[in-house]
Amino acid sequence: MKRILFAIAAAAAVSAHAELKFATVDMLKLLRNHPDYERNERLLESTDKDYQKKVDAIKSEGEALQTEGRKLMEQHENPMLSDKAKVDLKKKLTEIQKQLSSIEQRYRAEAMRCQQDLRDLRQRLLKSSTDDLRERIAKFAESNGYDVVLDTNATAFSKASLDVTDEVLVAMGVDPKKAKGVDEGK
């Protein structure tokens, strides 16, 4: 936001000497139609599935241990059991409780790590696409004589005639009539 205000202030200062040419673009629409968008979404989805498999494996390990613990508890309540067998079962149950606690900690740590890794990957992919779009917009602006190109979503108001999103889409090789809108599902 500071960049935008600075750009506008600088543009206003320069405009005292020359007429500035402004344009706006819908960055969200451009991102949605970026050549890497679909590939990035598939990568995020497959990475999420891989992470979910890891977390589910830990969960399954815990569930199997819980089942074993329940069986031991049922055995422990058998009135025909000797005192020594009950003591042995109690030791096994205590060990299972320790293992379950360890598995629960591992589960939480892995789930948090996976979520963080997924967020980091999403941010890296978004930054890469955004940086590429900024370069494309800069080239478009330079070749079409624009002094300032603002994001439509970051401005309080702009005339529709200033919007050059479709022209940038064409420069990206995307037919504006076939372009995905911002509200379309991921």
Q: 152 lies in a domain?
A: yes
Paired tokens of 43: 């990568």
Q: 182 lies in a domain?
A: no
pLDDT-derived band at 17 (thresholds 50, 70, 90) equals low
Asked if 62 contacts 100 with a C-beta cutoff of 8 angstroms, the reply is yes
Q: 181 lies in a domain?
A: no
The candidate with the shortest Cα–Cα distance to 120, out of 48, 174, 72, 64, is 48
Q: How many residues are there in the chain?
A: 186
pLDDT-derived band at 158 (thresholds 50, 70, 90) equals very high
pLDDT at 186: 46
pLDDT at 1: 59
Mean pLDDT (the chain) is 91
d(CA 5, CA 3): 6
d(CA 153, CA 130): 15
Q: 157 lies in a domain?
A: yes
Q: 107 lies in a domain?
A: yes
pLDDT at 184: 62
pLDDT in tens, 72-105: 999 888 888 898 988 999 999 999 999 999 999 9
pLDDT at 9: 59
Range of the domain at 47: 2-171
Asked if 129 contacts 37 with a C-beta cutoff of 8 angstroms, the reply is yes
Calculate the CA 166 to chain-centre distance.
Answer: 26
The candidate with the shortest Cα–Cα distance to 62, out of 89, 100, 90, 24, is 100
Number of domains in the chain: 1
Q: 179 lies in a domain?
A: no
d(CA 30, CA 24): 12
d(CA 72, CA 95): 12
Q: 178 lies in a domain?
A: no
Beta bridge partners of 22: 148
Paired tokens of 110: 């892995």
**pTM across the whole model:** 0.77
**For residue 5, is pLDDT > 70?**
no
Q: What integer is the mean pLDDT of 44-72? A: 96
Q: 177 lies in a domain?
A: no
- What is the three-class DSSP state of 51? helix
Percent of the chain with pLDDT over 90: 78
